[in-house]
């Protein structure tokens, strides 16, 4: 999972914080309209689901009721790159990627969640227990400070490059291997 935006100087910044508790953007209320284009940032969000299995027949079939990409309230199962949608299986050792742009009003929104849920099975195996599950959720926070804090640099968050973290969920190496990537 990745989220970036261009600041008013054209510098690409992450819209995912280094920790889940800290905001990725801190700004005075009076200055919020100077962020992005009159207070609107265009978040460029990339999310990826991967089937890391390497054994023939371990193709992952997403459950359409339980697998989705979500940015704020917008839940999607289509619109992925290369014409893929979640009604198709994810072949072994491959990934499917979704790219979305979403305008965010930093003067009004305090946070915006992005979420990926991957839930399904491997029907080609013909087993009763071939289900896989992986999930990642990031709540991107914006902190608007009262104008009285002035120019105290303590209130402004640095924008270091985030680190990619992979969480792997494998119940049994012979059954299912899924991975969800996100940034910290």
List average pLDDT for each run of 10 residues in the chain, which is 184 residues long.
86 82 85 90 89 90 90 82 82 88 91 89 84 86 79 54 45 54 44
What is the pLDDT, as a whole number, of residue 43?
Answer: 92
What is the pLDDT, as a whole number, of residue 104?
Answer: 93
Q: Is 124 left (phi over 0), alpha (psi -120 to 50) or beta?
A: alpha
Q: Which residues pair with 136 in a beta bridge?
A: 116
Task: Classify residue 106 as exposed, middle or buried by CB count within 10 Å of its CB (0-12, 13-18, 19+).
Answer: buried
pTM: 0.73
CA distances to 88, 150, 151, 159 from 31, in Å: 46, 11, 11, 18
Query: Quick one: which H or E segment has residue 152?
Result: none
Closest CA to 53 of 136, 116, 1, 120: 120
């Amino acid at each position: 999972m990745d989220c970036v935006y261009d600041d008013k100087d054209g510098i690409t910044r992450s819209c995912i914080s280094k920790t889940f508790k800290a905001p990725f953007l801190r700004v005075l209320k009076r200055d919020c309209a100077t962020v992005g284009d009159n207070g609107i940032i265009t978040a460029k969000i990339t999310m990826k689901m991967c089937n890391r299995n390497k054994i023939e027949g371990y193709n992952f079939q997403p459950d359409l009721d339980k697998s989705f990409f979500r940015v704020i309230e917008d839940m999607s199962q289509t619109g992925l790159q290369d014409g893929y949608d979640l009604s198709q299986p994810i072949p072994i050792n491959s990934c499917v990627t979704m790219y979305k742009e979403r305008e965010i009003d930093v003067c009004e929104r305090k946070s915006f969640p992005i979420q990926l849920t991957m839930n399904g099975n491997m029907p080609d195996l013909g087993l009763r227990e071939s289900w896989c599950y992986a999930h990642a959720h990031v709540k991107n926070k914006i902190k608007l400070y009262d104008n009285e804090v002035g120019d105290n640099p303590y209130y402004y968050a640095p924008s270091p490059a985030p680190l990619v973290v992979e969480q792997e969920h494998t119940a049994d190496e012979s059954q299912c291997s899924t991975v969800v990537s996100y940034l910290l």
